[in-house]
Amino acid sequence: MASSEIEVVPNSNDRNSSAPGPNEEPSIDVYGAAAYGDFEKLRKFVEEDGVSLSRPDRNGYYALQWAALNNFAAIVQYIIEHGGDVHATDNAKQTALHWTAVRGSIAAADVLLHNGARVEAADVNGYRVVHVAAQYGQTTFLNHIIAKYQADFDVPDNDGRSPLHWAAYRGFADTIRLLLFRDACQGRQDKKGCTPLHFAALTGNVEACNVLVHKGNKQELWVMDDTGFTPVQLAFDKGHRHIGLLLANARHGGSTSWGGKICLGKKGDMGYAPILFCAICISIILFINSVFFAPGLQKVTALVGLWGWITLSLAVAALIMFYRCSSKDPGYIKTSKGSGKTDTEDPLLGIDLNNSSIWTGNWSQLCPTCKIIRPVRSKHCPTCKHCVEQFDHHCPWISNCVGKRNKWDFFVFLCLGTLTSLLGAVVATQRIWTAAPMLSAGETWFHFMVIQHPGLVAFLVMDTIILIAASCLMAIQASQLPINVTIVLETRKMTRTIARNLTTNEAINAVRYWYLWGPDGRFRNPYNHGCRKNCSDFLIHGYTDDDEIAWPPLQQVSR
């Protein structure tokens, strides 16, 4: 399968290059007048000169098609009233409605459809208006004709390719989200055996592959086309190594979900949390038996005893917070009920685009898996299989996501873990120091500790690992260092950034989120109210209010 075998809309380059621009000369015929939007000249040609609007130009294109392409709805209506045929087709059998999909001309499409245009009309390749919209990434237009005119969004063309195939091939992730949100068939194979994931792998678009991966199932990664290539093999064959690795990771994941992990959810699945819980409990037991009440060491003084009991108390508190952040709802977004909408009402019809707290007009807010319109800072976790509000990251060591409702608990857990480990190390070091006089003649300190007090050495090793991990995570969460940190408890993860009101997910994937970029193209976090307010809101309320933005309004950047 090669990209040269794929043909997009015929003559699309001709129609775009032939369309007049704002700096071009005035129109000299009805076709130029219709394309340029020169209503007065068009009227003169028709009403005074008697020029027909039912004939094509030398390329076989109609004035109605040119007006529809450039979204001149009034001119489209005028042409129809003066002899223009909404069913007229060019040499590729495309109607004016096909042309509206190239540039997403919604107003012109409405006029055409209200005057009898057929939304299911197909050209010589079997392309309907939904195929053309998907090929050009006109997501808003595509949603409009689906929601308002019930266009079939899953219909195949002559080669068996659905709009989802074309959106995947062209790498339009927003269009893919919309089609999957509406339950387009992700496993459909065209006449060459290719699924949409084959097409995304062919062109090497990371975001398109991610969207398809999160919504799909593992079986789709093993589907072969007619040449025997799976999406993984196709990605490597075309030189898209990063895509191949991404798909191979998903294919060889340990669970039935794409993430390859399991979490502590409502079904009782256990993740890595029991491992960390056991490690903490073992560390506490070693501290009590091998450090605090170790035989062969000097008697515990009152001061050391005080700090020892403080350490144990903090360890118990850390376990309580560990349970809270592991079992607590991190902020799962549920489908709203009782809002007055019926089950049959289209969820994307009549959305208030000015309501920035729910819908900002950006299609990345659609979750194809949960079938919800989620707040801006939310993200779907493929491991938990839920959308999480103010998603920070999925932490396998607490077997839960870190989000709006449990990020305070997570931060307190890290603080307690750091303080407990630090005090434990200090007490253990003091106990080792007092053991120095007990060394036999010629015996080394290392030999003495390993042979006589192996439990104390084991505690120090475990405590050091926990201390380094917890302190690094706490520091990163509090200040958000702009780097990736690899540690024992969290590999390639960064936690919630309190001081800058920026989540780990946003920090790592900032380039993917349009709301983090100002109109000048520079990074600009609209939720950053300054270190003092960010920290006070987090410590007092446990989270920050996304409805309060630092610089209104949110600017949507074209992608």
Element (DSSP H or E) covering residue 142: helix 139-149
User: What CA–CA distance (Å, rounded) separates 375 from 357?
Assistant: 7
Q: Cβ(397)–Cβ(270) under 8 Å?
A: no
Q: At what angle do helices 196-203 and 206-215 cross, to 10 degrees?
A: 150
DSSP state, 435?
T
- Report the DSSP pairing between strands 372-373 and 366-367: antiparallel
Q: Name the residue type at position 293.
A: F
State the catalytic residue, choosing from 194, 395, 401, 472: 395
DSSP state, 550?
S
Give Rg (Cα) of the chain: 31
Task: Report CA torsion sign: 461, 466, 469, 472.
Answer: negative
Element (DSSP H or E) covering residue 215: helix 206-215
Q: Cβ(87)–Cβ(52) under 8 Å?
A: no
DSSP state, 315?
H
SS3 395: strand
Q: How many CA atoms lie within 13 A of 375 on its CB side?
A: 17
395 is catalytic: yes
- Report the DSSP pairing between strands 379-381 and 386-388: antiparallel
Q: Cβ(30)–Cβ(63) under 8 Å?
A: yes
SS3 192: coil
Q: Which residues are known catalytic residues? A: 395
